Amino acid sequence: MLYYLTKRLGLSAVVVCLVVLVLFSLLHLIPGDPATIALGPRATPEAIARYAEKMHLDEPVWRQFMIYVANAATGDLGLDVFSDRPVTAIIMERIGFTLALVGTGMGWAMLLGIPLGCLAAVKPNSWLDRITGVFSVGTIAVPSFLVSIWALLIFAVHLRWLPAIGAGEPGDLGDQVSHLILPAFAIGLSWVGYLARMVRASMLEVMGENYIRSARAFGLRPRRVIFGYALRVAILPTITLIGMGFGGMISSTVFAEIIFARPGIGKLIFDAVTARNFPIVQGAVLVATGLYILVVLISDILIAWFDPRVRESL
Amino acid sequence: MPKDATHAPDTLLDVRNLSVDFRTPRGRVKALRDISFPIRKNRIIGIVGESGSGKSTVLWALLGLLAKNAEVTSGEVRFGDRDLLHASEAQLRATRGEEISVVFQDPMTSQIPVLTYGRQMRDILYRRPNVTTVEKRRMAVEMLGKVGIPDPDKRIDQYPHHFSGGMRQRAGIAMALLTGPQLLLADEPTTALDVTMEAQIIHLLQDLQKELDATVVVVSHNLGLIAELCDDVVVMYAGEVIEAGEVHEIFHNAQHPYTRALLECDPARIDDVSRKLPVIPGDIPDLTKPLSGCIYASRCQRAMPICRQQTPPTITRGEMSLARCHLLDGPHHDPDWPPPLDVMTVGKGEAGARKPARVKRDDPLLEVSDLNVQFETVGPLRARLKGITQRHVDAVLDVSLSVAPGETVGLVGESGSGKTTLGRTVLNLVPARSGSVKFEGREIRNMPEGRFKPLRRDMAMMFQDPVGSLSPRKSVRALITEPFQIHGISGVNLDDEAERLADMVRLPKPFLSRYPHELSGGQARRVGVARALALNPKLIIADEPTAGLDVSVQGEILNLMTDLQAEHGLGYLVITHNLPVVRHIADRLAIMYLGRIVEEGRTAEVFNRPVHPYTQALVEGVPQPDPDRRRVHVSISGEVPSLLNRPKGCDFATRCPYAQDRCRAEKPPHVTMADGRRHACHFPLGQ
């Protein structure tokens, strides 16, 4: 296990380095001088020179890269172009909102999608199964920004049940939760469909296994057979899917956060890209990558926890 | 349904007029038709039949666990005062696992891999709320100990994959007996196990049945197992009970022609190895079509016109015995039927000299000497981190073997003995570490694939799983001509070749346009043989050529292999664990244990006078299809050790009944005896 963790963390570090390299290259592939790009066409030559020196832009590219990696390793992701505040601090302010959104979105999708998939698989071709099938395909097909806009129009503008924009008053939990509902609904909806389909497919396969027949032949209750035996095995591929899904969801928060004007990583990246605030873009993408790698690692460890055969092969 | 619903007091469960249909896309399959038989208390009853006979369907019907597309069209299953066919789901659930329990066919797949035995067994006891968890665990530990699992209080916390096949089946028996059921059903309980394990499980079931006064139903196709274990026997064919009776009646005085034929086809029963094996021609009838007359008429050696028109009469003798055949009663009664046991009733036309005595040539086709194959178990980095010095296991250890043209060599061993690895190494599919493999005098070990490929025309493989080794998307015609395309052979008419090969393996022409899923096991085997023969090879390596085939069909494949050998002078290396089969086709045998050949010699000599104790155990391990020849003791105990901890001395020393100190200390070298036999034993038997 320790060996496995070491190996995985080592590999993760390599992936992060590659991501930094790609980000860095992109910045330097954009034609023109980074300082001019960052400060815009109307910046004075003095300002550009000052900026270039502060950002080590006068150094060779490989040195810039080394400096960035070395700083990033100590948690220093550079300074915001406009406010001069540390990028790390800005990201930390915002990341909570994104995590809350992604967690809630995936959370409700799991709570609904997994049982739906189970029930559909237990009674294949029943009306529940058919409805689940149509619902899954429907929700997967509709992009989340469309769901966001419709949800906003119906529940916030038309019915006025829920607030439309922002993340709620700091400190007021009820207000924050009510601001979370619509965006979480929007980004989670297609995942209900994904999860239901995935769980249904693997449950159908597992329900045909000999050990499920054994459990039924020993007279166990159907609920025990389905949730205690079949789901325990069928959930394993779904865990991997959820792990990878978190990554996809972080990118879909960009839309949700823009539409609902929520302060989060997605909105931060969008604003930074529009304003050509590259230190922020770099830092935020790096943090998002790190989060993604972490979640995938956690999902792999969860699988090992559920399946003794995987656990022992680590 | 008969009106006299009172049953004999010693009947525990009574199956009456049971009929089951399966709804399939091809139409309704009448899988069971009017099945009736009693299960008598405190006895072991065997249900025997070939694939498609419906024997497993009966078993699942007793539990109310038939497949979703099954429909019970008539009948009842009386268990006490209940009818299990019409009981509610809740009633059935209270019966299953508590009053009626099951031992499953394949312990590898029938136990959930992610829960410990302790948890699985506690779940089975869920209906006892007033028994504490601690008490349940104690009951489970006790039962695991009873079925012969060492250290049960530790092993109960392990998962199924920690157990070997034999141990898993023991645990499966423990789970089934945990609640103290009145009736134990066993579905092919030893089919997935090796010979030495099979013997142990048979004896365990017998002992437990006596000790617990249980009633046991064993479903099997293995006549030896039925003869050794059972008191009563029900013989099924194509969804009907065609004969039933006490075990001695069935095995010594079978009334129905099918039962007779089945017994005669069992290679374990035939001592005369100079003849071809008898077979039952034809296939099981299509059960979707309307049936009339006797179900067996189309394959019966004694079929008369009336058999195809009229349902045969049922002749009962006493409480249990019945047989359904026109020969036994009515206008077509034949007083001379059944003939004495030594008269063969099937395959008469095929009898005759087996194969001409082979011209023994000096130069072997295949010569393997001192071959070693190792598998890596731990990666180099992990080995360094954990300080493991031994990173490899020896899968094949110092193996020497030769096959001459026209000769059949049987390579026999239990699972994990390295026999398949050896076959794959010869075909250059697994790299060898040292030693030599010569084909027609030419060294071929670890030859680069580019140079080896032309040789693959001369060496063909018959794979173990006949259907799984055929691409499901290709027609039989495409499959058997595929070797020509693989080797880029042009200038042959593929259609002609396909027909020539189909002829050679006696596969009817219309089958050429079928797909693998439309073939029966025997037909899929024939396609496999045709593929192997396509390029006129000189050597065929056959991996378990009869695995999964019914007794009546396996003779056909073996006879076909023998004929083709006589015609083309092929050399065969037959890899198998099935001793009765290999005894009929092999000229020489090599017995493998843990990757090493422990004995090698001419087949008859090895069988009649084994030199190595392991060979002796294997030969005695085959259950005989004769209830008078039941074994009283198991010749060897324990199981094959893991390759990871190969014993220091003789590999077999941990299980050998004759092992002495020297056996545990030093590995016995291979010794060639005066008559050319080789063995690796410090104290050879009969010396």
Q: Is the pLDDT at B358 greater than 60, yes or no? A: no
* Domain shared by A159 and A244, yes or no: yes
Cα gap B498→B531, rounded to integer Å: 10
CATH architecture of structural domain B11-256: 3-Layer(aba) Sandwich (3.40)
Which of B96, B115, B382 shows the shortest C-beta gap to A218?
B96
Q: Is the pLDDT at A156 greater than 60, yes or no? A: yes
| Burial of A256 per CB tally in 10 Å (0-12, 13-18, 19+) | buried
Residue in A closest to B59 by C-alpha: A217
* Domain shared by A146 and A178, yes or no: yes
In this predicted structure, what is the pLDDT of residue B101? Answer: 93
Give pLDDT tens digits for B86-121.
Answer: 889 899 999 998 999 999 988 888 999 999 999 999
Which residue ranges does chain B devote to CATH 3.40.50.300? 11-256, 407-416+449-458+537-679
Helices and strands counted in chain A (H then E): 14, 0
In this predicted structure, what is the pLDDT of residue B1? Answer: 36
Confidence band for B250, pLDDT divided at 50, 70 and 90: very high
Residues in chain A within 8 Å Cβ distance of B101: 217-218
Average pLDDT score over residue span B159-164: 90
CB A211 to CB B93 under 8 A? no
Give pLDDT tens digits for B574-608.
Answer: 999 888 888 888 999 999 999 999 999 999 899 98
* Domain shared by A149 and A253, yes or no: yes
Give the H/E segment covering residue A48: helix A45-54
Residues 76-115 of A with CB under 8 A from B: none
CB B114 to CB A307 under 8 A? yes
Whole-model pTM? Answer: 0.85
- The answer to whether residue A168 sits within a structural domain is yes
CB B112 to CB A233 under 8 A? yes
Cα gap B112→B192, rounded to integer Å: 17
Which of B123, B385, B386 shows the shortest C-beta gap to A220?
B123
Q: Is the pLDDT at B9 greater than 70, yes or no? A: no
Partner A contacted by B419 (CB < 8 A):
no
Confidence band for B360, pLDDT divided at 50, 70 and 90: low
Average pLDDT score over residue span B513-532: 86
Give the ranges where B230-309 is alpha helix by DSSP (H): 247-252, 257-265, 305-309
* Domain shared by A95 and A195, yes or no: yes
CB A214 to CB B123 under 8 A? no
Tell me the shortest Cα–Cα distance from A212 to chain B, in angstroms: 8
Give pLDDT tens digits for B442-476.
Answer: 899 888 988 998 899 899 988 888 788 889 999 99
- The answer to whether residue A82 sits within a structural domain is no
* Domain shared by A290 and A213, yes or no: yes
* Domain shared by A32 and A64, yes or no: yes
Q: Could you tell me where the beta strands, DSSP code E, fall in B132-209?
A: 183-187
Cα gap B134→B125, rounded to integer Å: 12
Q: Is the pLDDT at A211 greater than 90, yes or no? A: yes
Confidence band for B633, pLDDT divided at 50, 70 and 90: low
* Mean pLDDT of chain B, nearest integer: 87
Confidence band for B245, pLDDT divided at 50, 70 and 90: very high
In this predicted structure, what is the pLDDT of residue B271? Answer: 72
CB A309 to CB B63 under 8 A? no
In this predicted structure, what is the pLDDT of residue B112? Answer: 93
Confidence band for A28, pLDDT divided at 50, 70 and 90: confident
CA dihedral for B54, B59, B62, B66, sign (positive or negative):
negative
> What Å distances lie between residue B517 and A306, B150, B472, B474, B521, CA to CA?
36, 44, 7, 10, 10
Partner B contacted by A274 (CB < 8 A):
no
Which of B111, B127, B382 shows the shortest C-beta gap to A214?
B111
* Domain shared by A62 and A102, yes or no: no
Of the residues B123, B382, B384, the best mutation for testing chain A's interface (the one with the most A CB atoms within 10 Å of its CB) is B123
Give pLDDT tens digits for A103-148.
Answer: 999 999 999 999 999 999 988 888 889 998 998 888 888 887 788 8
- The answer to whether residue A79 sits within a structural domain is no
Residue in A closest to B382 by C-alpha: A3
User: Could you tell me what percent of chain B has a pLDDT over 90?
Assistant: 38
Are B639 and B650 contacting, i.e. CB atoms less than 8 angstroms apart?
A: no
Partner B contacted by A273 (CB < 8 A):
no
User: What ipTM was assigned to the predicted interfaces of this complex?
Assistant: 0.83
Partner A contacted by B104 (CB < 8 A):
yes
Report the domain count for chain A.
2
- The answer to whether residue A37 sits within a structural domain is yes
Q: Which residue has the tokens 């009873």?
A: B146
Cα gap A183→A193, rounded to integer Å: 17
Cα gap A127→A182, rounded to integer Å: 29
Q: Whose CA is closest to B610, among B595, B591, B593, B585?
A: B591
Which of A217, A229, A308 shows the shortest C-beta gap to B96?
A217
* Domain shared by A97 and A151, yes or no: yes
- The answer to whether residue A115 sits within a structural domain is yes
CA dihedral for B393, B397, B403, B408, sign (positive or negative):
negative
CB B93 to CB A3 under 8 A? no
* Domain shared by A120 and A258, yes or no: yes
CB A229 to CB B104 under 8 A? no
Partner B contacted by A233 (CB < 8 A):
yes
* Domain shared by A39 and A188, yes or no: no
Are B184 and B216 contacting, i.e. CB atoms less than 8 angstroms apart?
A: yes
Give pLDDT tens digits for B28-63.
Answer: 889 999 999 999 999 999 999 988 888 989 999 998
Residue in B closest to A122 by C-alpha: B68
Cα gap B187→A183, rounded to integer Å: 55
CATH of the domain at A213: 1.10.3720.10
Of the residues B98, B106, B112, the best mutation for testing chain A's interface (the one with the most A CB atoms within 10 Å of its CB) is B112
Confidence band for B122, pLDDT divided at 50, 70 and 90: very high
Tell me the shortest Cα–Cα distance from A236 to chain B, in angstroms: 11
* Domain shared by A144 and A291, yes or no: yes
Please tell me whether residue B453 adopts helix, strand or coil conformation.
helix
Q: Could you tell me where the beta strands, DSSP code E, fall in B303-365?
A: 314-317, 321-324
Confidence band for B353, pLDDT divided at 50, 70 and 90: very low
Residue in B closest to A230 by C-alpha: B112
In this predicted structure, what is the pLDDT of residue B641? Answer: 84
In this predicted structure, what is the pLDDT of residue B634? Answer: 65
Tell me yes or no: is domain B407-416+449-458+537-679 CATH 3.30.70.2740. no
User: Could you tell me what percent of chain A has a pLDDT over 70?
Assistant: 97
Eight-class DSSP state of B311: P
Residue in B closest to A217 by C-alpha: B96
Give pLDDT tens digits for B330-339.
Answer: 888 888 888 8
Which of B93, B110, B382 shows the shortest C-beta gap to A210?
B110
Instruction: Point out the least confidently predicted range of A38-42, A302-306, B311-315, B525-529.
Output: A38-42
Confidence band for B349, pLDDT divided at 50, 70 and 90: very low
**Count of residues in chain B:** 687
Give pLDDT tens digits for A251-299.
Answer: 778 888 888 888 888 888 888 888 777 788 888 888 888 888 888 888 8
- Comparison of pLDDT for A276 and B659, the residue scoring more: B659
Partner A contacted by B388 (CB < 8 A):
no
* Domain shared by A117 and A45, yes or no: no
How many CB pairs (< 8 A) connect A and B?
Answer: 77
Average pLDDT score over residue span A14-31: 81
Residue A203 lies in domain: 91-307
In this predicted structure, what is the pLDDT of residue B237? Answer: 93
Residues 367-386 of B with CB under 8 A from A: 382, 385-386
- The answer to whether residue A80 sits within a structural domain is no
Of the residues A4, A126, A211, A218, the best mutation for testing chain B's interface (the one with the most B CB atoms within 10 Å of its CB) is A218
Residue in B closest to A304 by C-alpha: B114
Give pLDDT tens digits for B537-550.
Answer: 999 999 988 887 88
Partner A contacted by B174 (CB < 8 A):
no
* Mean pLDDT of chain A, nearest integer: 84
- The answer to whether residue A118 sits within a structural domain is yes
Residues in chain B within 8 Å Cβ distance of A3: 382, 385-386
Partner B contacted by A309 (CB < 8 A):
yes
User: Could you tell me what percent of chain B has a pLDDT over 70?
Assistant: 95
User: First and final CA of chain A: distance in angstroms?
Assistant: 6
In this predicted structure, what is the pLDDT of residue B4? Answer: 42
Residues in chain A within 8 Å Cβ distance of B63: 217
CB B112 to CB A213 under 8 A? no
Give pLDDT tens digits for B300-330.
Answer: 888 888 898 888 988 888 778 899 999 988 8
